[in-house]
Amino acid sequence: MNKQFFVICTVLIVVSLAVGVLIGSRVTIPTTFSGYSSTTSSTTICTLSSGTDGVVIRVVQENYSDPAKVFPVSGALVNGNDVYYCGSDRSQVNFSPVRTNSSGWASLLFGGIGIYTLEINLSEELNYTISIQTVLVSTTYVVYNVSTGNVTTGVCSQFRSNCEIP
């Protein structure tokens, strides 16, 4: 059931993006009549009926004294933006940076509709960037292991009472 739900959501997102690009294309039609010319153009207005809730991320790293375990990274600065397209127009919304708590979690519940690009800063020398595809009407949960680079995601729909959080 969960795999089917994910596949259906993914298909809906891809179809929605394709339809948005087709509908959102700007069309310019040059015309000539009686020795003068004019240009007709159309503009697209994108309307969304819903968006995503956003992303909740947990930053962890390997415990090298016991490689089978990881521990949370507290105090990491997580910053980023949400990028989406309406036709060929690119939109980007930057959001306020947050810090991970003592359990390594940070909430980026800023909504949006596209791909979250996250910058995770542990120090001046340790910076990581990841991209997370969001799902409409859902919260995307992410666990990022800075030691291995592994990213694990799970989606929690507003319409489901139990969720698989990585």
pTM for this prediction: 0.67
Cα distance between residue 155 and residue 164, in whole Å: 7
User: Which positions ≥6 away from 59 have C-beta within 8 Å?
Assistant: 72, 73, 76, 78, 100, 104, 106, 120, 144, 146
Does the domain made of 54-157 have the CATH classification 3.40.50.1820? no
Question: Which residues in the chain land under pLDDT 50?
Answer: 1, 5-7, 9, 11-12, 14-34
Question: In this predicted structure, what is the pLDDT of residue 105?
Answer: 97
Residue 21: how many other CB atoms lie within 10 Å:
14
CB–CB of 115/155 below 8 Å? no
| Residue keyed to tokens 């394709």 | 18
Question: In this predicted structure, what is the pLDDT of residue 25?
Answer: 41
Question: In this predicted structure, what is the pLDDT of residue 36?
Answer: 53
